Amino acid sequence: MRKDQIKLVFTGNMGAGKTTAIASISEIPVINTDVLMSSGASADKERTTVAMDYGELTLGSGEKLFLYGTPGQQRFDYMWQILIQGGLGLIILIDNSGDDPIGDLARYLDSFHDFIQETGAVIGVTHTDDAPRPDLQMYYHYLQERGLQLPVFPIDARSRESVVMLIQALLAILEYG
């Protein structure tokens, strides 16, 4: 990876909306490696990311901001460490309608622990329209127990506005937090 590459990385559990989130802000059609799910994985969506998502935004300076999404499933965790290299910060998306969303968050906080320490992370909780619980307070409670001060926002990965909010918060903590 080039050292001066400007990139943001989206991670989080399967179906949380990483591919969708990148698609909602990228100016190019997202290059993704989504494949049909065999019935081995349990989810009611059709496709899953097996290598990465990739999107771009051209900045005023002419430079490019790269948006990378990781596969969500733990089986692909070797991609996580590859994709994270040189990232400005991490956006973690958690599907609130899963069996154990806080447990899911815990896994990503563990897996990306060092990277988060060095840079920063924000948490977007998706599918709160289908599953209002656990509520935000429970996430904050959990983070407090871990001694972390990361922001948590309920978002909809399909809305550009809410993805922008996550990035704004991430940049704010990188600069002022």
Partner 1 sequence: MLSKLATIQLEQRLSKLIEQCSAVDAAVVATLDGYTCAMKQRSQQYPLERLATMGSTLMSLGDTITAELRLGTCDNIISENKNGIVAFMHIDDNLVLITLATQKNALGMLLSHSRRCAEEMKKVVV
Partner 2 sequence: MYKLYYHALQKNDPVFFRSMLQLVGLKLSQNWEIDEHAKLILVDIETPEGQSFWQNPPKEAVLIAYARQNDIQTPWFLPKPIRTQSLIQLLNELAEHVCCEDEPKPQVNKPQPSHADIVKAKASNFFQAEYYLVGVLQQILQGQSITRVQCTGFPPLYIIPEERRCFTHQVQFNQINTAQKMFYAASIDEIECETVSAEQLQQEIKQQHLVAYPVETMLWLSAMCASQGRFSSAGAQNKFMRLVQWPNFALFPYQPYHMNLAAYMLKNIADVHGIAQKTQCSLENVVDFTNACSIIGILKYEQEHKIVEKQLPEARRSLFKTILQRLADTVTFHK
For residue 50, give the nearest of 27, 28, 26, 74 by alpha carbon. Answer: 74
What is the C-alpha separation between 23 and 32, in angstroms, rounded? 10
Question: Residues of 144-159 as b/e, b for ≥16 C-beta within 10 angstroms?
Answer: eeeeeebbbebbbbee
Binding of ligand GTP by 24 (CB under 6 A)? no
Q: Angle formed by the axes of helices 101-111 and 136-145, to 10°?
A: 40
Selected from 7, 15, 55, 152, the binder of ligand GTP by CB under 6 A is 15
CB of 39 to partner 1, least distance (A): 5
Selected from 24, 49, 126, 128, the binder of Mg ion by CB under 5 A is 49
Q: Which two tokens stand for residue 172?
A: 């704010």
Selected from 156, 163, 167, 170, the binder of ligand GTP by CB under 6 A is 156
Residue 102 CB: number of other CB atoms within 10 A?
A: 15
Binding footprint of partner 2 on the chain (CB under 8 A): 6, 25, 57-61, 63, 65, 136-138, 140-141, 149, 151-155, 159-162, 164-165, 167-169, 171-177
Binding footprint of Mg ion on the chain (CB under 5 A): 18-19, 49
Binding footprint of partner 1 on the chain (CB under 8 A): 31-33, 35-41, 48, 50-52, 71, 73, 75-76, 78-79
